[in-house]
Amino acid sequence: MELKGKVCIVTGGASGIGHAVANLFVRQGAAVVVADVNRDGALAAAQKLGASALGVGCDVSSAADVAGMVAQALAAFGRVDVLVNNAGFGMTGNVVTTPEEQWDRLMAVNVKGMFLCAKHVVPVMKAQGGGSIINTTSYTVTSAIADRTAYVASKGAITALTKAMAMDHARDGIRVNAVAPGTVDSPYIERILSVAPDPASRRAEFNARAVMNRMGQPDEIAEAFLFLASDRSRFATGSIVTVDGGSSIGNHLVA
């Protein structure tokens, strides 16, 4: 029961890594706010997790939505000990082929969303005497992949944001770290495979990104979040924990 008595907000919690994190945190004794732009998905996920979970619809790029999410967390559980800034998405394209409006939307969710969530949670944690914020970045920050310019740029910003926040709020007792996953076998990947001309070949390409020659599983990534959320990582702040099957040391010619 690593997280017994802790209250955690997990954005992007209805599916993929976020859902695995919410599930693991509940099993470890936490009360969890499952927040997602897919409100029905958030409610369904929370219902499955039981009485210690609350589902909330939230577009993290909206300050009003984020403020409402934090208010609901406080009304339900009285505090916020852990913020998992996980909501985000990716898309294909380089600087020429990426439409400006899609670039803006991705940055609004992936980067501004983390800024807004932290903006509303940090004062709560400061008043409590501390907390842990964990951002989801990516191995692509150190080893870019082709045709994902906006996504890679957003993850670079998140990594820098993590270190800046860690510096700014250490004296408030707030630790800020990030997890950098590799490619994870998730609903997002399944959607890509569902429209691929050759799904088996496309899956093999995703697997080949890692030197282990496979994609990660959401549960494997969730364990890193648990470490950073728990008191076991009490001396860690500004850290980037990479869990990528060796993708960041491999050869990334695959888009």
Question: Integer distance in angstroms from the first to the last C-alpha of the chain?
Answer: 40
Give DSSP secondary structure letters for 181-209.
Answer: E--B-SHHHHHHHHT-SSHHHHHHHHHTT
* Contact (CB, 8 A) for 12 and 18: yes
Q: Which amino acid is at 151?
A: Y
User: Does residue 151 carry a catalytic annotation?
Assistant: yes
Within 8 A by CB and 6+ apart from 9, the residues are 32, 33, 35, 69, 70, 73, 80, 82, 83, 84, 117, 121
What are the angstrom distances between the C-alpha of 187 and each of 89, 99, 173, 183, 184? 12, 24, 36, 12, 9
HSE on the CB side for 13, CA within 13 Å?
Answer: 35
Separation CA 150–CA 7 (nearest Å): 32
- In degrees, rounded to 5, the angle at the alpha carbon of residue 229 between the alpha carbons of residues 63 and 85 is 25
Structure tokens at 60: 């993290």
Residues forming beta bridges with residue 71, ordered by sequence position: none
Residues forming beta bridges with residue 190, ordered by sequence position: none
The one catalytic residue among 151, 154, 166, 240 = 151
Separation CA 1–CA 27 (nearest Å): 7
The catalytic site residues sit at 151
